[in-house]
Amino acid sequence: MSAEDLENYETDMELQLYREYRDVVGLFSYVVETERRFYLANHVDLQARSADGEVYFDLTLQDAWVWDVYRSARFVKNVRVITFKDVNVEELTKSDDIALPKDGTMGS
């Protein structure tokens, strides 16, 4: 396999992963980013803890999807992450949660 073939394969895999993400994102309530992974989840429990003067995060996700091109099974029932790095949790806005004004103006 040539370097170009390998690059094309990786590009195709990333495109497939993006398409899967686009298809499943509406099934989840939260986006979670850690230093190593990107997750979609329906339940997130984030606890800041400390040990020996160091602060770390204990993150538990349920009903999750993992952004990982090399993973064959991306849907995961339970995930636990322990990290000393930043964790970002955002609640996703459901498309039916956004409503445009009936008169079409945006408050001007």
The full set of domain ranges for the chain reads 3-91
Which pLDDT value is given to residue 8? 85
Give the end-to-end CA distance of the chain in Å, rounded to a whole number.
Answer: 59
Residue 51 to residue 59: CA distance in whole angstroms: 16
- State mean pLDDT over 38-54: 96
Planar angle of CA 79, 68, 26, nearest 5 degrees: 75
In 3-state terms, what secondary structure has residue 67? strand
pLDDT digits (tens, 9 = 90+) for 9-44: 889 999 999 999 999 999 999 999 999 999 999 999
Proportion of the chain in helix, strand, coil states, percent, rounded to 5:
25, 40, 30
Question: pTM here?
Answer: 0.78
Q: How far is CA 81 from the centre of its chain?
A: 13
DSSP for residue 50: E
